[in-house]
Amino acid sequence: MRGDSNSPTNHTRKRRYLLQGKKWDKTELTWALRKSSRHTSRLDSGTIRQQFTTALQLWEKVSALKFTEVQKEAKNIDIYVDFMKGTHGDGYSFDGKGRKLAHAFYPGGGIGGDVHFDDDDHFVQHHLREDGKTSLLITAAHELGHSLGLSHSDAPKALMAPFYQDFGDEFELPQDDRYAIQTTPTPNDQHTTSQTTPTPNDHHTTSQTTPTPTYTKHPPS
Ligand SMILES: [Ca+2]
Ligand SMILES: [Zn+2]
Ligand SMILES: [Zn+2]
């Protein structure tokens, strides 16, 4: 489908984001901060949760999705957020300070939807970002895009562009990302049957263990 040699320079193409294809089979999702940052001099749990709440609201505003924070001990949490270093059990290692910042998993059961941050990187509240420091809000909002089923966009100014970039103080979702989430198919509103239908992804499946491409701080040179 892509790579159509008859139209090598399609400058009129407007949809530049990519839909990954997986989606949640519901619109109400739960999340919890499970492993907070261990860096004593860095962000505390309350700040991390606040930045995540703000990031989730950006997506809520432009979609039918609703997010509820729950205790990390709750059952069947859709989106776990973890800060981890180096090799951390999913086969996709982090790399110490710099470069790799975070990755997330596309919608699904088990690890699906989860967001991992490299705890060797220096995340700060959005309004405190400056040279060498990374906005947790921007990184969280980007990773949550993956958790909701979006792939990277080739629009350079999109939040879902593959490389971290700075955005202004009053961050709102760029248009490309709004189109992306609004084009993501939402579940049919079959509320009468959904209560009796077992969730299909209660059990782990290997197809859901591949994370999204890692969000990185600088393009490869
Ligand atoms: Ca890193
Ligand atoms: Zn991971
Ligand atoms: Zn990404």
Query: Domain-by-domain residue ranges, the chain?
Result: 28-185+206-216
Mean pLDDT of 192-199: 36
CB atoms < 10 A from the CB of 124, how many?
18
Q: What band does 78 get if pLDDT is binned at 50, 70 and 90?
A: very high
Task: Report d(CA 93, CA 84) in Å as an integer.
Answer: 9
Q: What is the DSSP letter of 21?
A: S
Could you confirm whether 69 is annotated as catalytic? no
* Residue numbers belonging to the annotated binding site for Ca(2+): 78, 95-96, 112, 114, 118-119
Write phi, then psi, for 77 (nearest 5 degrees). Answer: -75, 135
Whether 205 has a pLDDT exceeding 70, the answer reads no
- Can you list the alpha helix ranges (DSSP code H) found in 14-92? 45-61
Q: Residue 185's pLDDT is what? A: 64
Distance 45 CA to ligand 2 centre (A): 19
The catalytically annotated residue of 69, 73, 143, 170 is 143
The CATH homologous superfamily for domain 28-185+206-216 is Collagenase (Catalytic Domain) (3.40.390.10)
Dist. CA 167 → ligand 1 center (Å): 20
Contact 36, 45 (CB under 8 A): yes
What does the pLDDT average to over 71-83? 97
The bound ligand whose nearest atom lies closest to the alpha carbon of 115 is 2
**Residue 214 CA to ligand 3 centre (angstroms):** 6
More confident residue, 150 or 202: 150
Query: Taking 60 as the threshold, does the pLDDT of residue 75 lie above it?
Result: yes
Given this model, what pLDDT does residue 39 score? Answer: 76
Query: Could you tell me where the DSSP H helices lie in the chain?
Result: 45-61, 136-147, 175-183, 191-194
150 DSSP assignment: B
> What pTM value is reported for the model?
0.81
Helix intervals (H) in 148-199: 175-183, 191-194
Which residues carry a binding-site annotation? 78, 88, 90, 95-96, 103, 112, 114, 116, 118-119, 142, 146, 152, 160
- At 7-62, the pLDDT tens digits run 334 344 455 666 666 789 999 999 999 999 987 667 899 999 999 999 999 999 99
pLDDT at 22: 78
Q: What is the CA radius of gyration of the chain?
A: 17
Q: Work out the pLDDT band at 98, boundaries 50, 70, 90.
A: confident
